[in-house]
Amino acid sequence: MKRIYLLTTMFFAAATAASAVSSDRRMALAAEDPMPIPDEITLEAALDYALEHSFTILQAKERIEEQYGLIMEVGAAVRPTLSLNGSISEQADGMTASYSASDNWSVSLQVRQALYAGGGLRAAIRAQDALERAALYDLQASVETAIQEVKTAFYGILLARETIEVETQNIELLEEQLANTESRFEAGSVSNFDVLQAKVALANAKPALIRAKNDFRVSVADFKRVVGYVKRRGAPTVKMPKFVGELDVRMQEYGLLDSMQQAMKARPELARLALLVDSNQEGIEAAEAGYLPSVDLIGSYNFLRSYTTTDDRFDNPEDGWYVGLEANWNIWDGRATKGRVLQAKSRVRQSELVLDETRLSVEIEVRRAVSELESAAELVEAAGLVTGQAEEALRLANDRYSVGSSTFLDTLQARVSLTEARNNQLQANYSYLLALTNVQRAIGETKYNYVDASEAK
């Protein structure tokens, strides 16, 4: 008995120490900084980084781990359990009968195996299995959402960077124009009013460049959040990586009917909700198991206090084994089972309604995304045409101004129109890339497939 006590004590001590070490390790891992962002970042590199560090994806992975734990917990009901039970008691001599001892103790090692539970255990396991697969589709949806967010943030950086370039070129041209106007003023070919206009135009152009630079810094900070880069130790990083890429547009066509059919097959949200319906269906059978009996097989080996000795109560114990069946049948439980069945049926209906509502939402999302893509394509074509016309208009205005056949105001207006046209073209390209990203998200088109959503019923 003393050996049993020592082994039990050592077991609990080891378990406590292991738990402490595991907790310390988790805290140490949480304190580690993520992998540094590379000096040059492409869109593909950003997506790869986000797949490993995005908080949205990491949370989805943890939900899968949670489902694994739930499946293990539910599955334990159909597996045998082994327990060690013990008791010790002592009472006053005056309270003890003449044929019994004043102190007692017992230790038993018991095995219990569920043989029958009305089908509820198996139904619960199938329900948890469906929830596990639903968690995989939840991960897929999180991946697609993260991809959409990374693309949006990356395109926002490119837009801000290209806007900085456009505004910088505009200021350089205005500075060149100011120098040219001052030279012509000294030569007496223009008035001081033209010089003043050139200075005002240059001053008015600088705030746009300042705003563009600020937008770039904010876009980079948001990009780091989206991809999951958070520096946990020391001062925040100030390194500004080089973003490789252009706001180039390659037109793609998506038919509305084909897109909606693709979305109904590939959207992981729909597959996840269909599995939740299946899981809730199993919940009905699990609830109805309360109407039926349960049977357990029990076996134990017992150590009891020996009543043939009185000098040491832990010496010479009596021991033996026991095997038996234990059955339980709640013939009347106050309609508790009936209530659980009604709740389970209601959960099935609710999940079906959510699935139908989500299907409608996906259809509307696809319609909107395809329509916005078509509109963005038209804007790209129009903006490209206007930019070419604005460049030609500025060239003609400069030629006319150089020979004195037009005013400085005409040249300035042409330059402002060109800057506006270039910014509009950048914005149109950015809008098209975002619309394309939204279409791909709406129809579930991604190369990062963790599960095949078409397998879900």
- Predicted local distance difference test score (pLDDT) of residue 319: 82
Q: What pLDDT digit, counting tens, does each position of 239-289 carry?
A: 677 899 888 889 999 999 999 999 999 999 999 999 999 999 999 999 999
pLDDT at res. 90: 77
* CATH-assigned architecture of domain 120-292+335-455: Up-down Bundle (1.20)
The Cα-based distances of 305 to 4, 86, 94, 320 in angstroms read 15, 12, 20, 12
Q: How confident is the model at residue 95 (pLDDT cuts 50, 70, 90)?
A: low
How large is the average pLDDT for residues 156-185? 88
- Check pLDDT > 80 for residue 21: no
* Token reading at 79: 């597996």
Considering only residues 447 and 266, tell me which one the structure prediction assigns the higher pLDDT.
266
* Average pLDDT score over residue span 193-212: 88
The predicted structure's pLDDT at residue 33 = 53
Q: Are 245 and 43 in contact (CB under 8 A)?
A: yes
Q: Which of residues 237 and 159 earns the better pLDDT score?
A: 159
CA distance 212 to 207: 9
pLDDT in tens, 395-432: 888 778 777 777 767 777 887 888 888 889 999 999 99
According to the per-residue pLDDT averaged within each range, which of 78-87, 179-188, 327-336, 432-441 is highest?
Answer: 432-441
Residue 61 pLDDT level (bands cut at 50, 70, 90): confident
Nearest Cα to Cα of residue 368 among 447, 259, 272, 454? 259
Model confidence at 207: pLDDT above 60? yes
How confident is the model at residue 78, as a pLDDT? 81
- Residue percentage of the chain with pLDDT more than 70: 82
Considering the entire predicted model, what is its pTM? 0.76
Q: Which residues pair with 304 in a beta bridge?
A: 106, 318
The full set of domain ranges for the chain reads: 120-292+335-455
The DSSP annotation for 282-302 comes to HHHHHHHGGGS-EEEEEEEEE
> Confidence class of residue 97 from pLDDT cuts 50, 70 and 90?
low
Tens-digit pLDDT profile for residues 102-130: 577 788 999 998 888 888 888 988 888 89
Query: pLDDT for 304-361, tens place per residue?
Result: 876 665 555 566 677 888 899 989 998 888 899 999 999 999 999 999 999 999 999 9
Amino acid at 238: V
What pLDDT score was predicted for residue 409? 72
